[in-house]
Amino acid sequence: VPALEYNKQVKGESLNLLKYIDDNFDGPELLPHDSAKKKFAEELLAYSDSFNASAFFSCLRSKGDVTDEVVAAVDKIEAALGKFSDGPFFLDQFSLVDIAYVPFIERLQISYSGIKNYDIVGGRPNLGRFIE
């Protein structure tokens, strides 16, 4: 589990830690100022655990072909990547959302390719740009 000890306080949990770093340290901001993008970022961050459970863990639990649940979860990410641009980032700029999703999507691509012989990028150009 990632953790940060700073000013005699310990911060953990990936998303909370990223938000803490963004709020308390100098550097490029990880969330946009635009209210629509910020709202969408919060929605995507809230969805990240569900995405991980729906898409990644279902691959490991299921026998046989890729489930409709997995396809729907990956299609939702494809659409999210295209909401503000044609990629490669969720909010048309590198953000906390990209940092939150990249480990899940990277593992998902490898797992589905190797275990299910399924290319998650096929027919999903935004996801392809994100992974690239």
Domain ranges of the chain: 1-30, 33-131
pTM of the model: 0.87
- What pLDDT is attached to residue 89? 96
DSSP 52: I
Determine the CATH number of domain 33-131. 1.20.1050.10
pLDDT (average), residues 110-124:
90
- pLDDT tens figures, 40-96: 999 999 999 889 888 877 767 777 778 888 889 999 999 999 999 877 999 999 999
- What pLDDT is attached to residue 59? 67
Contacts by 57-63, CB closer than 8 A, 24 or more apart: 59/108, 59/111, 59/112, 59/115, 59/116, 60/111, 60/115
